[in-house]
Structure 1
Amino acid sequence: MSSGRCEFRTAGHLSEHTRGAFADLGDTAVQDAPPETVISGEAVDDAQLHGVLALILNLGLRVVSLHEMPR
């Protein structure tokens, strides 16, 4: 994967505590898009992309979709 912006859509609404887990992605990384939540940020390499995905799964969130938006 080349670096670019990634957008994960997860089912449901995230609590403030869960939103805080994504603070490293920036202030606007987590946005409500009922009935889903959009988590987005820059991914510089595959390792970072997999790290965000692992965090999402470890929090027990269900991924609805993943989109990569190349620069």
Structure 2
Amino acid sequence: MTDQQYEVRVDGRLSERAQQAFGGYEDVRIVPAPAETVLYVAVTDEAHLQGILALLANLHLQVVSMKRIPELPR
């Protein structure tokens, strides 16, 4: 798995703490949306994807949807 892009939607808005937790991921873009938060993620391999999902779980964020997208929005 290389260079795959995902759109991950989580329930609610990310707290400042949760946003800071993603600070180590320069390939994650966080976009607030009504009633949820959208994360755009460029994933390099399966371990990278699992790491992001584990971080979401550790932050107690509920994933509403996750889908692969052809490219990250600008």
- TM-score band by shorter chain is 0.7 to 0.9
Q: Give the conservation status (yes or no) of the 8 Å contact 1:30–1:37.
A: yes
Q: Secondary structure at the match of 1:61?
A: coil
Gap change, CA 1:54 and 1:3, over 3 Å in 2: same
**Corresponding residue pairs, total:** 71
Gap change, CA 1:28 and 1:45, over 3 Å in 2: closer
1:21-32 mapped onto 2 (5 Å cutoff): 21-26=21-26, 29-32=29-32
**What displacement does 1:5 show?**
1.2
Q: CA RMSD in A?
A: 1.9
**Where in structure 1 do 4 or more consecutive aligned residues deviate above 4 Å?**
none
Gap change, CA 1:47 and 1:64, over 3 Å in 2: same
Instruction: State the match for 2:12 in structure 1.
Output: 12
